[in-house]
Structure 1
Amino acid sequence: MNLTSAAPISPEFDVTVRSTNPNRKIGIYYLKESSVKVYCDGEMLGYGVLPDFYQPRKNVTVVRTTAAVSAVLLGGAVKTELSNAQSRGRVPLVLTVEAPVEFKTRAITAKAKCDVVLDKLSDKAQILPKHCHTALDFLGR
């Protein structure tokens, strides 16, 4: 990302989500209408969706997607924050994932919010520390 130019940027993030189903009896259907979002200081820098898929019982599934936005003009505060963070080698981002999932008898929405730190803003960026919080919203079908 060129943070010194006044031109719009089009950031793109490769996102990998690892889902574990430890249940011995029930598989999980991950439904359409999921969202993957990347933020910096409240500004959305990327948006994507996860594919719909079935996860068998006692299974770990890894899915990949891209979170991107086109031609976004960053506000001065966010641009400054990103420039300063990149100079320090610690770029703080927030990753949110929401995916509706369904079991045989009940539908819920699985949510994850991760605070991640990148060492730089480039295609060679490495994730430094991360902290994730997950939650389930029961819709009661």
Structure 2
Amino acid sequence: MANPPSQPPRHSKILRYIAIVLLVLIVLVGLAVLITWLIIKPKRFVYTIEEGSIKNYNLTKNHLNSTFEFALRSYNPNSKISIYYDSIEASVEYDDQTIAFEVVDPFFQPHRNVTRLDLKLTSQYVPLSGSNSKDIALERSSGEIEIAVMLKARIRYKVGMWKSKDRILIIWCSPVRVRFSRPNNFERTYCDTEL
């Protein structure tokens, strides 16, 4: 008498169906993301420092007083993406030490737009480390100082009616060379970004 063919256990069929359903869902989500990306075609935002100057410079007993003024150009090349800058903190760094700071007003940047931010960062009796004080004094005598400008922004993207969750955007502009005597000869500085 022949044995009847063995049937695969019922739970293995269920696991196979679950695996197929999960695979189909993963493929569908991947296709949705790809189609959305192809429709939106996101491009990187471009940030540059266009102008820079130092005013009211005074270095006394390792303490700095000055005003750093910059024109930051923000370019949004996207045709479907806008951005909300909900909060922005700007700072001037010299050799990893913050020497000036400003809070910038929030703003909205629509798609295919250029926005100019006039930054005015002040140092009010900022204590410098001994080496930074000497280095800044040397750079002052040479007529030019090399610094970094950093912006930390809380942003949200807008595509159509959809708005993203808050994200932190870091804009890092370095090296920024600012002349003490001839601010008209300023060289544009391109900035890097990090999300």
C-alpha distance in 1, partners of 2:67/2:155?
26
Q: Deviations over 1:13-61 (max 9, x none)?
A: 12322111111122211102x2100011222211012211111111111
Structure ID, larger Rg = 2
* Residue 112 of structure 1: how far off its partner (Å): 1.2
C-alpha distance in 2, partners of 1:81/1:111?
27
Larger proportion of helix: 2
Question: What is aligned with 1:49?
Answer: 103
C-alpha distance in 2, partners of 1:49/1:13?
14
Question: What is aligned with 1:119?
Answer: 179
Please give the root-mean-square deviation of Cα atoms over the aligned residues, in Å: 2.2
**Is it true that 1:17 corresponds to 2:66 in the alignment?**
no
Question: What is aligned with 1:61?
Answer: 115
* Residue 129 of structure 1: how far off its partner (Å): 6.5
The percentage of aligned residue pairs carrying the same residue is 26
Aligned residues of 2:62 and 2:129 also touching (Cα < 8 A):
no
Task: Give the alignment's TM-score, normalised by structure 1.
Answer: 0.79
**Is it true that 1:109 corresponds to 2:165 in the alignment?**
no
* Residue identity in the other structure for 1:49: V
**Is it true that 1:26 corresponds to 2:81 in the alignment?**
yes
Question: What is aligned with 2:61?
Answer: 6
Of 128, 132, 135, which residue of structure 1 is paired with 2:191? Answer: 132
Aligned residues of 1:49 and 1:65 also touching (Cα < 8 A):
no
Of 81, 94, 115, which residue of structure 2 is paired with 1:40? Answer: 94
Task: Give the alignment's TM-score, normalised by structure 2.
Answer: 0.59
Structure 1 unaligned spans of 5+:
none
Q: Deviations over 1:81-132 (max 9, x none)?
A: 0121122233111110111110213432221111211222x6x545347452
Aligned length: 132
Structure 2 unaligned spans of 5+:
1-56, 158-162
* Residue identity in the other structure for 1:110: L
Determine helix, strand or coil for the equivalent of 1:10.
Answer: strand
Could you list the runs of 4 or more consecutive aligned residues of structure 1 that deviate by over 6 angstroms after TM superposition?
Answer: none
**Is it true that 1:96 corresponds to 2:150 in the alignment?**
yes
Aligned residues of 1:117 and 1:129 also touching (Cα < 8 A):
no
